[in-house]
Amino acid sequence: MIGIGNAWRNDDGAGLAVARLLDAMLLDGVDVLEREGEPTSLIDAWEGAAAVWLVDAVSSGAQAGSVHRHDASAEALPARLYDTSTHHFGLAEAVELARALGRLPEHVVVFGIEGASFDTGETLSPEVQAAAARVAEAIREEVAASTRKP
User: Are 109 and 72 contacting, i.e. CB atoms less than 8 angstroms apart?
Assistant: yes
> Is 5's pLDDT higher than 70?
yes
Q: What is the DSSP letter of 63?
A: P
Domain residue limits at 30 = 2-147
Q: What is the CATH number of the domain that holds 95?
A: 3.40.50.1450
Convert the pLDDT of each residue in 92-149 to its tens digit. 888 999 999 999 999 999 999 999 999 999 999 999 999 999 999 999 999 988 877 5
Whole-number pLDDT of residue 72? 94
List Cα–Cα distances, 104 to 58, 67, 70, 73, 130, in angstroms. 21, 23, 15, 8, 30
Band (46; pLDDT cuts 50, 70, 90): very high
Which secondary-structure segment (H or E) carries 150?
A: none
Whole-number pLDDT of residue 88? 54
Measured distance CA(57)–CA(132) in Å, rounded: 10
Convert the pLDDT of each residue in 76-103 to its tens digit. 888 767 655 544 578 888 899 999 999 9
Whole-number pLDDT of residue 35? 92
Whole-number pLDDT of residue 30? 87
* Number of domains the chain contains: 1
> Is 66's pLDDT higher than 90?
yes
pTM: 0.91
Whole-number pLDDT of residue 86? 47
Measured distance CA(2)–CA(99) in Å, rounded: 17
Q: Using only C-alpha atoms, what is the Rg of the chain? A: 14
